[in-house]
Structure 1
Amino acid sequence: MNTLKCLLLFVGLIFLTGCSSDSPVEESSNKILIKSIIINGSNIEDGTAKQLQLVILPNNASNKSVTWSVSDETIATISSTGLLTPIDNGTITVTVLANDDSAISVEKTFQISGVTGPPVLVNNIIISGNDITDGNPQQLTVEVLPAEATNKIVTWTVSEPLMADITSEGLLTPKDNGTVTITATATDGSGTSNQFIMNISGVTPVYATILKAENMLLWQRSNGGWPKEPYNNFSGYEREQTAGEISTANSTKNNTDTTIDNGHTHGEIRVLLSAYKATNNPEYLAAAERGIDFLFEMQYDNGGWPQYYPLRNNYSRHITYNDNAMGDVMYLMRDIFLKRSNLDLIDESYVAAAQTAFDKGIQVILDTQVTINGVKTAWCAQHDAITLLPVDARDYELASNSGSESVKVVELLMSLDNPSSEVIDAVNSAVAWFESVKIVDYALQTIGGDKVLVASPGNVMWGRFYTLGDYTGHKYEALFNTFGPNEPFFCSRVADTEGGGPRKTIAEISYERRNGYSWYGDWPARLIGSDYTNWKNKNGI
């Protein structure tokens, strides 16, 4: 094919937004930062410890926690709560640093006098208490040794704040049943501490709730998954549900419209686990685990995930890379067996199953990489669950290599630690394919409300869909036979006057599809540049 014909193939390339989003689910919050800190407290004149106080502004700062330090620990030490303990006479500077993103810090200098001799440091702390069986608060006590220790003040902490609170005087108030570890730590700089393990029972817990999580409980289907509608972009979870919505959710519990499309199911699982971590509400954990059970059930034996489950008699039953549907589930599975991103909160029994599911997913990714004329290339947005071959989806999304979806597949492979030779070969082959099919020196402009190709020296684009090597038996075989392998193509909807099937230029398809779909973009640009270089350096390739 001559150069002029090649250039004409790319007329009308566009960067338009596709019909669904592949954005991961994220929670956002407006943080109020600390603007000023004032240290209150006077000089020490009697050689005894003094509790310093803080004024933190504004009063509604989101995170008021701070870090205390002193300029010279041979003169005095300071506890995490601001207890200043003298060791020798002299001058000391106390610094307080905000733990939020404001980086605000403040200093105050104190004169210390009245210290008559070297301090006697604590060398042992004995905690006295009993298991709580009635759910009531209990006062813990300590014996600080030696008896002549200069500073016998201790600080108290509890291992599970959602299960119990403890005051600076050692009064423990249970909030939930379970086991907690209580720690008493000397404040004299000795570093001495001791622990006490307490079993708590008899508590009737009252759990906090989070609106977003409550709405996810409401819309979870009986099989453990979630539907894409009515909250395709998750925004509807953020508000109170109407009486009609509550009625609809309850009456459709047994619907089988459950999916991993557009961030669903794995997205709700992540939000629920975050809510569980914040509240200890067991309903959130149970719902998340039911969702994970659903994901295990919907995985094919060969490792792929369909878009919907139970399976439907349409393209959604294929192994789905589109919108990173399968990839996002794979990331969740990896977080389970690596016990990170709140997935450490679920039952230990899920770990091995998640590892197996993930490994099978990687294998099917390797097995579905398309080979054209003996060369490995990329992936289709969806592959047949049995033959693993590229297959059609909607009538304008025909079997192809995807310049968009393949990027997320490669990113997942590149995220693996200690990649196998198979994985390395798959990544190298895909990057080589991206390099070979890029389109240079052209860009799109909107002129008269339509997309028009213009010369743009140095600009780089990729097609959304590229032809495969063999379309024998395809309903549009005759049209595809006018293409060579690895050529971009475009499609109208079958119902459009332009008719279905591949076209060589975007100008040949309907105005609606030309301007209503993301046929071209720069999706692989960073992948084949800095990301690929960093990946090779990291793995010594």
Structure 2
Amino acid sequence: MKKLIFLTVLLFQYYPIVFIQAQNKQYLSSLAAEAELSLEKGIAFMQSLAIEGGYVYHYSLDAKEKWGEGQTDDRTVEVQPPGTPAVGMSFLRAWRITKNKKFLSAAEDAANALILGQNESGGWDHKIYFDRPTGKRVSFDDNQTQSAISFLMSLDQEIDKPSLTQAIEKALDMMLESQLDNGGWPHQYPWQGNYHDYATFNDNGINDCIRVMIEADTYYREKKFAESLQKAGRFLMISQLPPPQPGWAQQYNEYLQPAWARSFEPPAVDPSASLNNINSLIELFLHTGREELLEPVPDAIRWLKTSRLPNGKWGRFLELGTNKPLYYDRGRIRVDSLQLLSLERRTGYAYEVNLKEALEAVELRFLHISNPEIVGPKVDQTGKLIELAENVRKIIKNQDKMGRWIVHQDRFRKEVPGKIWDGEYRTEDRISSALFNHNVGVLCAFLEAYKDLRAVH
């Protein structure tokens, strides 16, 4: 009798678990189908906004107004993320997980826009003007040229197309040619005889170039890419400033000295750039196995941890020698605090940033790499999938019948051509490429996790 009672209790304890698992399985299967349908609707709508296969940042709901870096027209697209390469990469990721040929076709269209806009030097400026000559200027600012090359190389792994191959070869040749003798990359290329020629970490310039060369070396395994990475790693090491400020500046002149860029960007130690450089050193170590690349990291982390401002943030520019935050307005006008800057600069440039989570993440990453015997926390794949599912449900709910994801009451600067912004804003509903890329990323992450879970079970 006791045995029967025990078995009955055990059955009632176990049955809900099995029932819940079955429910979850059915729910996730249904949601995966909905996620694929949402991708198809969203990508189809996004394609309807394309200009020669390319994209800008924002669109009015009727698509009559378009914005990139400021208001733009019907014959111009953006290269800088979240523009054409980023949207193309979203299409490509969706293709890889679903094998829906419409998504691959959309990615090819985005690539064609970039190929059409590739300039004489082999790279891209921040915009493509389809009705103008492409020019020669290559911009490494804000992941512009780098994101274009990354996307084209990723697509090259999926299709065999001569025009794509030629564009990639031309771009990678330019990357090698533009790399400075010291191993860094300039802000822009060809050289102009001003700060654009300096080795520039600002806005991840060199870091994104390193990422591109790691990808090129991974995909194509040519000696020239490995040599480029060796030069880049050396530059990261020799450009680290000495104690007591073992970080990095935003830009360096030909004498490897921190240097002025724009009139509000002084020679200084930059915590954000320093954090990015730690990550680049780790990425280079993981790719090459060269342990000396990790040597600059501990001192840099210690310095970052002691350089926090009283408000909990980090200054973008810390004065050489004193470690005090610097605030420069346009015209190299120095003021004593963020509040004393002009409205245009105070609201249009990140003089103070919150690096807490990013610093904790890089410190943990370095700890695991330098101490491989330390086992990180086990990831609950099912729990992760359920969490993703909640976000997917919201994304599907927020998508309208046309396949649009709308940023409601989007607030943005009201620009007047030829005038400095006066503080006035516009507020209206808009379509956002950044929101599209984010939502496609979440949908794809869910489908990838669901696929992995099914493979395990």
Do these two structures clear the TM 0.5 threshold for a shared fold by scoring above it? yes
Partner residue in 2 for 1:491 = 328
State the percentage of identical aligned residues: 23
Partner residue in 2 for 1:321 = 201
CA distance in 2, matches of 1:407, 1:379: 9
Offset at residue 324 of structure 1 (A): 0.7
Could you say what secondary structure the match of 2:294 adopts?
helix
More helix by share: 2
Corresponding residue to 1:225 among 123, 130, 142: 123
Partner residue in 2 for 1:435 = 305
Partner residue in 2 for 1:412 = 280
Q: In the TM superposition, what whole-angstrom CA distance separates every residue of 1:14-33 from its partner, at most 9, and x where no partner exists?
A: xxxx9997879532149999
Could you say what secondary structure the match of 2:314 adopts?
strand
What letter matches 1:428 in structure 2? Answer: P
Partner residue in 2 for 1:507 = 339
1:355 aligns with 2:223: no
Partner residue in 1 for 2:164 = 284
Instruction: Determine if contact 1:220/1:226 at 8 Å carries over to the other structure.
Output: yes
RMSD: 3.3
Instruction: Determine if contact 1:369/1:377 at 8 Å carries over to the other structure.
Output: yes
Q: In the TM superposition, what whole-angstrom CA distance separates every residue of 1:462-521 from its partner, at most 9, and x where no partner exists?
A: 11110002xxxxxxxxxxxxxxx1001111111xxxxx3432212332222122211111
What letter matches 1:314 in structure 2? Answer: N
User: Equivalent residues in 2 for 1:173-184 (5 A)?
Assistant: none
1:378 aligns with 2:378: no
Partner residue in 2 for 1:260 = 140
Partner residue in 1 for 2:313 = 461
CA distance in 1, matches of 2:317, 2:94: 46
What letter matches 2:370 in structure 1? Answer: N
Partner residue in 1 for 2:212 = 332
Offset at residue 279 of structure 1 (A): 3.4
Q: Kindly tell me: are residues 522 and 376 of structure 1, through their superposed partners in 2, closer, same or farther at Cα, counting changes over 3 Å?
A: same
What letter matches 1:383 in structure 2? Answer: Y
Instruction: Determine if contact 2:318/2:325 at 8 Å carries over to the other structure.
Output: yes
Partner residue in 1 for 2:266 = 398
Offset at residue 208 of structure 1 (A): 11
CA distance in 2, matches of 1:279, 1:396: 45
In the superposition, the TM-score normalised over structure 1's length comes to: 0.49
Could you say what secondary structure the match of 1:216 adopts?
helix
Q: Kindly tell me: are residues 509 and 217 of structure 1, through their superposed partners in 2, closer, same or farther at Cα, counting changes over 3 Å?
A: same
Instruction: Determine if contact 1:491/1:501 at 8 Å carries over to the other structure.
Output: yes
User: Equivalent residues in 2 for 1:74-85 (5 A)?
Assistant: none
1:212 aligns with 2:110: yes
Instruction: Determine if contact 2:317/2:326 at 8 Å carries over to the other structure.
Output: yes
Instruction: Determine if contact 1:226/1:264 at 8 Å carries over to the other structure.
Output: yes
Count of paired positions: 288
CA distance in 1, matches of 2:224, 2:172: 10
Could you say what secondary structure the match of 1:502 adopts?
strand
Q: In the TM superposition, what whole-angstrom CA distance separates every residue of 1:132-164 from its partner, at most 9, and x where no partner exists?
A: xxxxxxxxxxxxxxxxxxxxxxxxxxxxxxxxx
Partner residue in 1 for 2:40 = none
The unaligned stretches of length 5 or more in structure 2 are 1-68, 71-78, 373-457
Partner residue in 1 for 2:438 = none
What letter matches 1:215 in structure 2? Answer: A
Q: Kindly tell me: are residues 419 and 435 of structure 1, through their superposed partners in 2, closer, same or farther at Cα, counting changes over 3 Å?
A: farther
Instruction: Determine if contact 2:315/2:351 at 8 Å carries over to the other structure.
Output: yes
Could you say what secondary structure the match of 1:275 adopts?
helix
Q: In the TM superposition, what whole-angstrom CA distance separates every residue of 1:309-330 from its partner, at most 9, and x where no partner exists?
A: 1101221110010111111111
Could you say what secondary structure the match of 1:401 adopts?
coil
Offset at residue 273 of structure 1 (A): 2.7
Instruction: Determine if contact 2:80/2:144 at 8 Å carries over to the other structure.
Output: no
What letter matches 2:320 in structure 1? Answer: L
Q: Kindly tell me: are residues 246 and 375 of structure 1, through their superposed partners in 2, closer, same or farther at Cα, counting changes over 3 Å?
A: closer
Offset at residue 334 of structure 1 (A): 1.6
Larger radius of gyration between Structure 1 and Structure 2: 1
Offset at residue 225 of structure 1 (A): 1.4
More strand by share: 1
Could you say what secondary structure the match of 2:313 adopts?
strand
What letter matches 1:438 in structure 2? Answer: R
Higher relative contact order (CA 8 A, sep 6+): 2
Partner residue in 2 for 1:529 = 360
Instruction: Determine if contact 1:22/1:324 at 8 Å carries over to the other structure.
Output: no
CA distance in 1, matches of 2:93, 2:275: 34
CA distance in 2, matches of 1:269, 1:530: 28
CA distance in 1, matches of 2:300, 2:266: 20
CA distance in 2, matches of 1:352, 1:215: 30
Instruction: Determine if contact 2:124/2:145 at 8 Å carries over to the other structure.
Output: yes
Q: In the TM superposition, what whole-angstrom CA distance separates every residue of 1:229-287 from its partner, at most 9, and x where no partner exists?
A: 24xxxxxxxxxxxxxx5441xxx24x221122222222222222333344311110111
Could you say what secondary structure the match of 2:275 adopts?
helix
Partner residue in 2 for 1:423 = 293
Instruction: Determine if contact 1:467/1:486 at 8 Å carries over to the other structure.
Output: yes
Could you say what secondary structure the match of 1:437 adopts?
coil
Q: Kindly tell me: are residues 225 and 534 of structure 1, through their superposed partners in 2, closer, same or farther at Cα, counting changes over 3 Å?
A: closer
Instruction: Determine if contact 1:463/1:519 at 8 Å carries over to the other structure.
Output: yes
CA distance in 1, matches of 2:107, 2:289: 42
CA distance in 2, matches of 1:22, 1:277: 21
Offset at residue 534 of structure 1 (A): 3.3
Q: In the TM superposition, what whole-angstrom CA distance separates every residue of 1:314-350 from its partner, at most 9, and x where no partner exists?
A: 211100101111111111212222x2xxx34xxx5xx
Q: Kindly tell me: are residues 22 and 358 of structure 1, through their superposed partners in 2, closer, same or farther at Cα, counting changes over 3 Å?
A: farther
CA distance in 1, matches of 2:93, 2:255: 51
What letter matches 1:435 in structure 2? Answer: K
What letter matches 1:380 in structure 2? Answer: A
What letter matches 2:268 in structure 1? Answer: S
Partner residue in 1 for 2:151 = 271
Instruction: Determine if contact 1:490/1:505 at 8 Å carries over to the other structure.
Output: yes
CA distance in 2, matches of 1:317, 1:32: 38
Partner residue in 2 for 1:28 = 90
1:304 aligns with 2:187: no
Could you say what secondary structure the match of 1:266 adopts?
helix
CA distance in 1, matches of 2:346, 2:361: 32
Partner residue in 2 for 1:189 = none
Offset at residue 300 of structure 1 (A): 1.1
CA distance in 1, matches of 2:369, 2:107: 43
What letter matches 2:334 in structure 1? Answer: P
The unaligned stretches of length 5 or more in structure 1 are 1-17, 34-60, 66-206, 231-244, 443-459, 470-484, 495-499
CA distance in 2, matches of 1:489, 1:274: 40
User: Equivalent residues in 2 for 1:444-455 (5 A)?
Assistant: none
